[in-house]
Amino acid sequence: MKRLLLRVLLSMLAFSMIFPVIPGIDFHGNVLAALALSVVFGIMLWLVEAVAVAVAAIWTLSTFGLALLWLIPLWVIGFWLLPALALLLTAHFLPQYLTVNGFLPAALAGMVMLLIGVLTSDRNHNRRASA
């Protein structure tokens, strides 16, 4: 529960303070708008990841595993693109609070959100507890 609260707080800070520094991203709102954006972003990221996993599974099964020759390198190279897509969707659904002009600013902001996710993940906590 603490990690979830920390993730929401860090996301709120990212939306209100870090993203406006990135050229091409504009935040219009207050703390409540940043909270709403972080919650909507979390939902959008969950949906984007679910769709990506479903498409990868269907493509792998339909090609009898040969698609893994493409999917594994794509996943390793482009895993940071999923938060960028979720950010673009969030900006699409809440344009009164967030505007993102182009994919490059979304990709840079996606890297920030990916870093927040890695720092607050359960897997990271389990590694430190076992060491």
pTM of the model: 0.84
pLDDT digits (tens, 9 = 90+) for 27-68: 999 999 999 999 999 999 999 999 999 999 999 999 988 888
Smallest CA-to-CA distance from 21 within 89, 127, 112 is with 112
**What average pLDDT does range 10-25 have in this prediction?**
93
pLDDT digits (tens, 9 = 90+) for 92-131: 999 999 999 999 999 999 899 989 988 888 765 555 555 5
Domain ranges in the chain? Answer: 29-121
Q: What does the alpha-carbon distance between residue 81 and residue 124 come to, in Å, rounded to a whole number?
A: 21
Chain mean pLDDT for the chain: 89
Q: Contact 19/111 with Cβ under 8 angstroms?
A: no
Q: Contact 97/37 with Cβ under 8 angstroms?
A: yes
Q: What does the alpha-carbon distance between residue 105 and residue 114 come to, in Å, rounded to a whole number?
A: 14
